[in-house]
Amino acid sequence: MNVSQPLIRLENVAKVFYTDEVETHALAGIHLDIKKGEYVSISGPSGCGKSTLLSILGLLDSPSDGVYMLGEKPVQGLDFSDRARIRNQEIGFIFQSFNLIGDLTVYENVELPLTYRNMSATERKERVQNALEKVGMAHRMRHYPSQLSGGQQQRVAVARALAGKPLILLADEPTGNLDSRNGEAVMELLQQLHREGATICMVTHDERFARHADRTVHMFDGKVVEESVEVG
């Protein structure tokens, strides 16, 4: 990739929902660049469109208009299969409610995205162990999610996002379901990953956590209204 090129570029992205012949403009005229190794937070009040934006960034949804470049490729018009492949190989998700699968062990949960690739069992094992060690959960790999605290579950979710070695981590309110102590710990983990070179885009409505990022994008009414760069 050309170093000057951002990892993610959104150009004039819009998202319109149609319900009962009523148009709802969830996003309008979004321009956003995220560079490799950057830690960006998206904040704003409820209903401002930040989760919709994250869904488009995560290829869970498609923009109604505009261009979305991931790497150097436009991805806004890809079919289901290609989007699934990109989600699997190039994007790591961290959800507010962890979204671990209750019937799978910690190990199996982290391994899950890797099972959708043609990857040898040995390599999968190595990656899962590395990811779990990175988040400090290697000692719990045989446990089930229900046997873990919320903070531990979110660490496992981070490990699952990391295991695939994605281009970018997308975190949707990663501390939303955690108490402040566990929330801080998860934020510290993301901070550490960022220091190690991970590109992160995080949605949060909590100003305290937004400040952990290099840059904060403020949204209101489906538009980017302000961008601020954290100093220090």
Partner 1 sequence: METLLQDLRYSLRTLRNSPGFTAVAVLTLALGIGANTAIFTLINAVMLKMLPAQNAQELVVLGDPTAAHSRSMGTPTTELFSYPLYRELRDRNAVFSGVMAAGEMHKLKVTRPSGEGVTDDALGALVSGNYFSVLGVNTLIGRPLTDDDDKLPGAHPVAVISYSLWKQKFALSPDVLGQSVRLNGYPFTIIGVTPQGFYGQVVGDVQEVWIPIMMQAQVMPGRNWITESAAAGNHQHPENVSWLNVMARLKPGVTVEAAKANVNLVFKQMLEGSYGAKLTSDDLAEVKKNTIDVVPGARGLSELRGDFQKPLYLLMAIVGLVLLIACVNVANLLLARASQRKREIAVRLALGAKPSRLVRQLLTESVVLAFFGGAFGLFAAMWGARVLLKVSSLDTVKNGLEVQPDLKVLAFTAGICVLTGLIFGLVPALRAVHVELNSTLKSQAQGNGGSGGRGWNWGKLLVVSQVGLSLLVLFAAGLLVRSLRNLQNLDVGYNRQHLVLASIDPVAAGYNKEQISALVPELTQKMARIPGVQAASVSAMGLFSGIESANTVKVEGFAAANDRDKVAYFDRVAPDYFKVLGIPLLLGREISAQDREGAPVVAVINESMAKFYFKNENPVGRKFWIDDEEHRNKPILVVGVAKDARDRQLRGEVRRRYYLSITQPEDDLGSAIFEIRTVGDPEGVTNSVRSELKNFNSAIPINSVRTLDYLVDNSISNEIIIAKLSSFFGGLALLLASIGLYGIMSYTVNGRTKEIGVRMALGAQRKNVLWLILREAMILVVAGIAVGIPAAIASTKLISSMLYGLSGSDPVSMAAVILLLGSIAVVASYIPARRATKVDPMVALRYE
Taking the complex as a whole, the smallest distance from the CB of residue 227 to partner 1 amounts, in Å, to 26
Taking the complex as a whole, the smallest distance from the CB of residue 226 to partner 1 amounts, in Å, to 26
Shorter beta-carbon distance to partner 1: residue 93 or 216:
93
Shorter beta-carbon distance to partner 1: residue 118 or 120:
118
Pair of tokens at residue 79: 């079919």
Taking the complex as a whole, the smallest distance from the CB of residue 232 to partner 1 amounts, in Å, to 34
Shorter beta-carbon distance to partner 1: residue 69 or 119:
119
User: Quick one: which H or E segment has residue 208?
Assistant: helix 207-210
Give the pairing of strands 73-74 and 65-70.
antiparallel
Taking the complex as a whole, the smallest distance from the CB of residue 85 to partner 1 amounts, in Å, to 7
Taking the complex as a whole, the smallest distance from the CB of residue 51 to partner 1 amounts, in Å, to 9
Shorter beta-carbon distance to partner 1: residue 89 or 228:
89
Residue whose C-alpha is closest to residue 170's, from 87, 81, 228: 87
CB 86 within 8 A of CB 93: no
Shorter beta-carbon distance to partner 1: residue 171 or 215:
171
> Tokens 């954290």 belong to which residue?
230
132-155 as b/e: b if 16+ CB within 10 A: bebbebbebbeebbeebebbbbbb
| 3-class secondary structure per residue, 93-130 | EECCCCCCCCCCCHHHHHHHHHHCCCCCHHHHHHHHHH
Taking the complex as a whole, the smallest distance from the CB of residue 192 to partner 1 amounts, in Å, to 23
| 91 strand-pairing partners | 168
> Who's near 209: CB < 8 A, 6+ residues apart?
41, 175, 183, 187, 202
Shorter beta-carbon distance to partner 1: residue 2 or 118:
118
Taking the complex as a whole, the smallest distance from the CB of residue 42 to partner 1 amounts, in Å, to 17
Shorter beta-carbon distance to partner 1: residue 116 or 227:
116
CA 192 to chain centre: 16
How far apart, in whole angstroms, are the C-alpha atoms of residue 146 and residue 125?
22
- List of residues contacting partner 1 (CB under 8 A): 55, 58, 60-61, 80-81, 84-89, 93, 95, 97, 99, 101-103, 112-113, 116-117, 160, 164
